[in-house]
Amino acid sequence: MGKFLLTFVRHGETEYNKKGLLQGQIDIPLNETGLKQADALGRYLAKERFDRVYSSDLSRCVQTTEGVIRNATVPRPNMVKDARLRERSFGEGEGLSREERASKGSFDPEGAETRKQCINHRTCLLGCLHVQSARNYVRTATLHSEANWLKNN
């Protein structure tokens, strides 16, 4: 069995982050600070060898991934976009501040993806990545909006 290593990173700053608004799956690009952060991350990881770089298909994640790839000093990995890496969907809570969500009386808004749904589709993706790497040494950077689901499970 091959060796399989994952490196998780979070996307750079967006205007929604700066304003304290819940992004969820709204496609918000990086702001100026976020673009600088993506470039700095790329420089920090420049000498790391990644066989593949997976990214959510949301623009903030793609832009962060581009910063990593652009700065690679070893063979540049290809980007693989996968919607299963998107941040959890928060339904009607997306675009609202914590205070606005609290005033509606629920932090579990209508149409939100359940925690179980979120874990299930990401676990499926991790299984697919592991199977793909079974014959080779693979080091993969995965850029997405929310790594807390892994940390907490």
The whole-angstrom distance between residue 57's C-alpha and the CA centroid of its chain comes to 9
Residue 33 marked as a ligand binder: no
Residue 13 marked as a ligand binder: yes
Residue 14 marked as a ligand binder: yes
Residue 10 marked as a ligand binder: yes
Q: How far apart are CA 36 and CA 50, in angstroms?
A: 21
Query: Residue 11 catalytic?
Result: yes
Catalytic pick from 32, 48, 87, 100?
87
Q: How far apart are CA 46 and CA 43, in angstroms?
A: 5
Query: Residue 87 catalytic?
Result: yes
Task: Please tell me whether residue 49 adopts helix, strand or coil conformation.
Answer: coil
Residue 17 marked as a ligand binder: yes
Binding site members? 10-17, 60
Output the known binding site for substrate: 10-17, 60
Q: Annotated catalytic sites, by residue?
A: 11, 87
